[in-house]
Amino acid sequence: MRLPPFQYLAPRTTEEALEIMSRYKGKVRIIAGGTDIMNLLRHRLLSPPYVMSLKGVAGLTGVKKTRGALVIAAGTTLRNIAGAPEVRASFAAIAQSAGLVAAPPIQNIATIGGNLLQGTRCLFYNQ
């Protein structure tokens, strides 16, 4: 299946991303891993004029402990969450769950933010 035509946007900073979102409000779809959005594009359930990737934006990935809290950035892949020592030590169920979502190739691409925000994949429901 071919993707619908769109302009691909790849900001490098959060400021650029926010400016793009403001300029193309309602016309831009945002991807990081893209595992959910790409299927919707292929099935022509979405046809946005603009697709913006957050992959190149610094600061949107990673796992760290801050003031006794565990912070997982939205762009962090499921594979990185499953393997992060901080997650495994304090939140084993989250690490285990991230390691059980989909197949390893998808875990290497899919982000926690995308998984939390994904729509249903049921084509019957989507159509």
CATH number of the domain enclosing 89: 3.30.465.10
Note whether residue 109 is domain-resident: yes
**Domain check: are 8 and 52 in the same one?**
yes
Q: Are residues 67 and 51 in the same domain?
A: no
Would you say residue 127 has pLDDT above 90?
no
Residues 75 and 95 in one domain: yes
Q: What percent of the chain has pLDDT over 90?
A: 68
Rounded-to-integer distance, Cα 61 and Cα 125, Å: 32
The reported pTM is: 0.82
Domain boundary among 12, 32, 59: 59
63-101 pLDDT tens trace: 998 888 999 999 999 999 999 999 999 899 999 999 998
Angle at 26 between CA 20 and CA 27, to 5 degrees: 70
CA 95 to the chain's CA centroid: 17
Q: Which of 25, 21, 28, 23 is nearest to 7 (CA)?
A: 28
Q: Which residue has the tokens 């926010």?
A: 18
* Residue 120 belongs to some domain of the structure: no
What mean pLDDT do residues 104-122 have?
Answer: 83
85 within some domain:
yes
R_g of the chain, CA atoms, integer Å: 16
User: What distance in Å separates the CA atoms of residue 40 and residue 18, rounded to the nearest whole number?
Assistant: 23
Question: Using 50, 70 and 90 to split pLDDT, how confident is the model at 123?
Answer: low
Please indicate, yes or no, whether residues 76 and 37 belong to a single structural domain of this protein.
no
Give me the domain span that covers residue 66.
Answer: 61-114
| Count of structural domains, the chain | 2
What distance in Å separates the CA atoms of residue 50 and residue 28, rounded to the nearest whole number?
5
Any domain includes 123:
no
Q: What is the pLDDT of residue 51?
A: 96
Confidence of residue 124 (pLDDT cuts 50, 70, 90): low
Structure tokens at 50: 């603009």
pLDDT of residue 20 exceeding 60 = yes
Q: Are residues 52 and 3 in the same domain?
A: yes
Residues shown for the chain: 127
CATH number at residue 43: 3.30.43.10
pLDDT in tens, 29-45: 999 888 888 888 998 88
